[in-house]
Chains A and B, each alone.
Chain A
């Protein structure tokens, strides 16, 4: 069969060369979907392993323990490294706090309290640091900061803290668990008034939080530990952020695949429909059905393979860049995106998908009866859609418009193809835009999303501030630029009939503007006596809005609260309520609760924070600008925008291809119409009218479908994940969000038909009629 294969090759090569738009569309659609899939795979792989990989490679500390240097000697701390259950340890490192540290050459702004450790070596058995910029410290006068250069903090800059020697920033490094904010040489730390000792451990048993705590307690037996941090917390914070988004990433990936499969299917179907005569000729020449199928498959697979290769290359680069970005966002030392295995998986998936999508139409081409195919050009088709056409002809519409509107009805099969491409394009774009909107809302739903400045006890302050919460509220409200003030804290509570270990988020003050839009049912609490539990708590315990709970803080009086709503949150042990429900535990001895402030519009949070710092630092308090969520809101924003863009481009190309094909096909009819006396302008008007009609119908079908699919997907995600979906995350469509894909569909339809319409209008009638 080798020889006849060459005939298949010859026939398909010619098809590929001459049907340039079709070939290019297939190539681009495949490239985009391969890139999308690879990107999605990379993302899923990263969500699964980004932290664990980085943690394993850095031999991260499973527990970090801090000791008071005044109470324990370094030798006794060092001895804990040899305790049973400790597999590796680093330290003790002397630690000091640089208060109100700021870049000397920096812009004015609030200083930061930095906890630095004296450490000789970035490597070692535990917590190997990754130097992201510059170099490690070599001696006194130098410091390496955690993270990456940014703003006034850069290699070569200096850092000063009141009353302490100035330090030159020689580099930046990342610790996977963030063991310190900065590192200096051991010879330097003595000059920074060290007051603590830090010890980093890896244990034989550290699978979960209790295990880590137990192992740590065994190792440090008897020693007073002033603070400890478990890697489980860090990992959880990382995964929580991620898990909420995985369903969406999956939906996007699947969506991209579906869109490209359907578009490739319609492109190939279009090629078959348009190639009726072509198929007949091949058959008359003696191509077997299998060979005809092969010709059409090769015609598709050639550009598809090229597109796939390009897509893998682009997707690989994108996935790497994304992983790098996420590593930055999550402050991880390093990450890799796509691997060769993922490349192969994504490429293979897409190739199989394209082959399957093309197989149907290609088989149809092979099965097409030869006689029917060959006479397709010569025999007139049976008149269809005559009713609507006759009706249109009787309306008062201008003849070209009436004829144009009738054209789609006359050729239902071809019209259906273009309509499918258009409708799907609009559906995909609508769905994509909606999902993007939903994810953005999820990312900014937390109360922190609304906070501009937080005020609290200075983190490493010597004493507890002695101002009460009420006093600070009053003080802040007197400041210009303050819009809303509240305090927020977590409180362990017990509920009658509920398991132990409930965490209540208690709010005080003017909290309503801070509450996010992550409400699923009912409304937010407005005062004492009301509670809003997490949706997962309601579901788990079969509670309903309107039910009453009895809650009790550790040692306080019980509070009876009515459930007035629920919020999206996967943790089934969470409640939100007014802090006044637990009067006993409210700010008894000085300020404990961190305070959040929303500044008035036009007030710069940094200036505001600086002002508050100047005002309150004497009282052991500090104000800090709330940073945008470092866990990657920005990264995800860009990511979903990119995915939507890819889906919309693929859909747009499919539409354009269908429209162009349809318009080209009609050039013969147009020749006939011109022959009977239509002017070129009328011909062009007719073509554009017919496509605009299709565009309008496509939008009319695609928009509701897209909205319906969006609601179904988001709702289903909410049902499947414990957290639930807030109503405001489901109903995200504004009129402009719907107008966008509708206009795009119409625009593509009209623009796509313009060039062939113009060409058909311009070519001489004789040429059109003679052209086969």
Chain B
């Protein structure tokens, strides 16, 4: 396979500054299809900023961001939104479900956005909830779901459009350790079936458990890259 098709994310000397604050100070990073990359680092080191760059939620001050063959640098807001809805799935620390919609509709909405007919979107959403073991909670509103349940709904929503890349910013940060472990197992499972993963976490144990590659950040720069699970056969295709 040629290198191009194999690459999902390619960042080339990406800088991001907010006024005087340098959030990213020249980051170059390549993520291949099927990899699970965990980004670690102290608070304020620019991890979330990096994720936002990849998701096209924010623009670099300079440098280029190419995701799944598309150069995000020159895209307008609407083009970025369309890119996001097809290629990216996002999982948040605080879930960020829409309070106004029940679990199933929260998931189905992502499908409706790419033009799936309502019935089909609901069927696929139900299938995902079923796979994540919360099909029985499909009619519940976020306010009555437990943290773990909410995060599963969040993951299901992220997977709805079979994204090329799943982004997760501290997905276990708001969960107790047992529920957190379940979510990690879920992500691990997904990666095993080929889902490319970019994960931000504080939790070293979590990182080493599910990542094929570990990227460490300090002050907006990559200071170390390791491959803790090098032996994993599916890490490199």
Residues of A within 8 A of B (CB): 3-4, 6-7, 10-11, 14-15, 17-19, 277-278, 280-291, 369-371, 374-375, 377-378, 770-772
Q: Is the CB of A772 within 8 A of B97?
A: yes
Q: Is the CB of A772 within 8 A of B57?
A: no
- Residue numbers in A under 8 Å from B157 (CB-CB): 285
Which listed residue (B82, B95, B98, B116) contacts A286, Cβ 8 A? B82
List, sorted by A's number, 15 A–B pairs whose CB atoms are closer than 8 Å.
Answer: A3-B112, A15-B100, A18-B100, A278-B99, A281-B97, A283-B81, A284-B92, A285-B85, A285-B90, A286-B81, A286-B85, A289-B81, A371-B57, A371-B58, A374-B92
What 0/1 pattern do residues 134 to 156 of B give for CB contact below 8 A with A?
00000000110001000000000
Q: Is the CB of B96 within 8 A of A284?
A: yes
**Distance (whole angstroms) from the CB of B44 to the closest CB of chain A:** 12
B211 interface contact, C-beta 8 A? no
Which listed residue (B48, B82, B96, B109) contacts A10, Cβ 8 A? B109
Which listed residue (A11, A283, A290, A369) contacts B109, Cβ 8 A? A11
Q: Is the CB of B96 within 8 A of A287?
A: no
- Residue numbers in B under 8 Å from A14 (CB-CB): 98, 100-101, 105
- Residue numbers in B under 8 Å from A290 (CB-CB): 78
**Majority DSSP secondary structure for residues of A touching B:** helix
Q: A378-B93, A378-B94, A772-B97 are in contact. Are A370 and B57 (CB under 8 A)?
A: yes
Residue of B nearest to A375 (CB): B48
* Given pairs A15-B100, A281-B96, A378-B93, 19 additional interface contacts (CB within 8 A): A3-B116, A10-B105, A10-B118, A11-B98, A14-B101, A14-B105, A278-B98, A278-B99, A281-B97, A285-B110, A286-B82, A286-B83, A286-B85, A286-B110, A288-B82, A377-B94, A772-B96, A772-B142, A772-B143
- Residue numbers in B under 8 Å from A4 (CB-CB): 112-115
Q: Is the CB of A7 within 8 A of B100?
A: no
**Distance (whole angstroms) from the CB of A17 to the closest CB of chain B:** 7
Q: A11-B109, A277-B96, A285-B110 are in contact. Are A370 and B118 (CB under 8 A)?
A: no
Which listed residue (B58, B113, B142) contacts A285, Cβ 8 A? B113
Which listed residue (A6, A286, A291) contacts B118, Cβ 8 A? A6
**Distance (whole angstroms) from the CB of A295 to the closest CB of chain B:** 11
Residue of A nearest to B48 (CB): A375
- Residue numbers in B under 8 Å from A277 (CB-CB): 96
Q: Is the CB of B55 within 8 A of A772?
A: no
Q: Is the CB of B143 within 8 A of A771?
A: yes
- Residue numbers in B under 8 Å from A7 (CB-CB): 109, 112-113
- Residue numbers in B under 8 Å from A378 (CB-CB): 93-94
B84 interface contact, C-beta 8 A? yes
Q: A4-B113, A14-B101, A284-B57 are in contact. Are A291 and B96 (CB under 8 A)?
A: no
**Residue among A290, A291, A371, A375 with most chain B CB within 10 A:** A371
- Residue numbers in A under 8 Å from B147 (CB-CB): 770
User: Complex formed: what's the CA distance from A525 to B157 in Å?
Assistant: 85
B77 interface contact, C-beta 8 A? yes
User: Complex formed: what's the CA distance from A556 to B181 in Å?
Assistant: 113
User: Complex formed: what's the CA distance from A371 to B97 in Å?
Assistant: 16
- Residue numbers in B under 8 Å from A282 (CB-CB): 98
- Residue numbers in B under 8 Å from A284 (CB-CB): 55, 57, 84, 90, 92, 96
**Distance (whole angstroms) from the CB of B159 to the closest CB of chain A:** 13
Q: Is the CB of B105 within 8 A of A374?
A: no
- Residue numbers in A under 8 Å from B83 (CB-CB): 286
Q: Is the CB of B96 within 8 A of A3?
A: no
What 0/1 pattern do residues 53 to 78 of B give for CB contact below 8 A with A?
00101100000000000000000011
Q: Is the CB of A286 within 8 A of B97?
A: no
Which listed residue (B52, B81, B115) contacts A3, Cβ 8 A? B115
Q: Is the CB of A374 within 8 A of B113?
A: no
Q: Is the CB of B77 within 8 A of A289?
A: yes
- Residue numbers in A under 8 Å from B90 (CB-CB): 284-285
- Residue numbers in A under 8 Å from B162 (CB-CB): none
**Distance (whole angstroms) from the CB of A6 to the closest CB of chain B:** 5
- Residue numbers in A under 8 Å from B112 (CB-CB): 3-4, 6-7, 10
**Residue among A280, A291, A370, A377 with most chain B CB within 10 A:** A370
Q: Is the CB of A283 within 8 A of B101?
A: no
B192 interface contact, C-beta 8 A? no
Q: Is the CB of A772 within 8 A of B99?
A: yes
B202 interface contact, C-beta 8 A? no
User: Complex formed: what's the CA distance from A277 to B95 in Å?
Assistant: 11
Q: Is the CB of A287 within 8 A of B98?
A: no
- Residue numbers in A under 8 Å from B55 (CB-CB): 284
Which listed residue (B77, B88, B96, B114) contacts A374, Cβ 8 A? B96
- Residue numbers in A under 8 Å from B77 (CB-CB): 288-289
**Distance (whole angstroms) from the CB of A284 to the closest CB of chain B:** 5
- Residue numbers in B under 8 Å from A18 (CB-CB): 99-100
User: Complex formed: what's the CA distance from A277 to B147 in Å?
Assistant: 18
Residue of A nearest to B83 (CB): A286
User: Complex formed: what's the CA distance from A290 to B95 in Å?
Assistant: 24
Q: A371-B52, A371-B57 are in contact. Are A287 and B99 (CB under 8 A)?
A: no
**Distance (whole angstroms) from the CB of A586 to the closest CB of chain B:** 82
What 0/1 pattern do residues 23 to 53 of B give for CB contact below 8 A with A?
0000000000000000000000000100010
**Residue among A10, A290, A377 with most chain B CB within 10 A:** A10
User: Complex formed: what's the CA distance from A6 to B105 in Å?
Assistant: 12
- Residue numbers in B under 8 Å from A15 (CB-CB): 100
Which listed residue (A3, A6, A289, A377) contacts B78, Cβ 8 A? A289
Q: Is the CB of A280 within 8 A of B84?
A: no
User: Complex formed: what's the CA distance from A291 to B85 in Å?
Assistant: 13
**Distance (whole angstroms) from the CB of B22 to the closest CB of chain A:** 16
**Distance (whole angstroms) from the CB of B229 to the closest CB of chain A:** 29
- Residue numbers in B under 8 Å from A286 (CB-CB): 81-86, 88, 110, 113-114
User: Complex formed: what's the CA distance from A302 to B105 in Å?
Assistant: 20
The 5 closest A-B pairs by CB, nearest first: A286-B85, A3-B115, A14-B100, A7-B112, A288-B81
Q: Is the CB of A17 within 8 A of B100?
A: yes
- Residue numbers in B under 8 Å from A772 (CB-CB): 94-97, 99, 142-143
Chain B contacts with A in 102-126, Cβ cutoff 8 A: 105, 108-110, 112-118
Q: Is the CB of B105 within 8 A of A370?
A: no
User: Complex formed: what's the CA distance from A577 to B118 in Å?
Assistant: 83
User: Complex formed: what's the CA distance from A280 to B55 in Å?
Assistant: 13
- Residue numbers in A under 8 Å from B118 (CB-CB): 6, 10
User: Complex formed: what's the CA distance from A288 to B82 in Å?
Assistant: 7
Residue of A nearest to B161 (CB): A286
**Distance (whole angstroms) from the CB of A247 to the closest CB of chain B:** 46
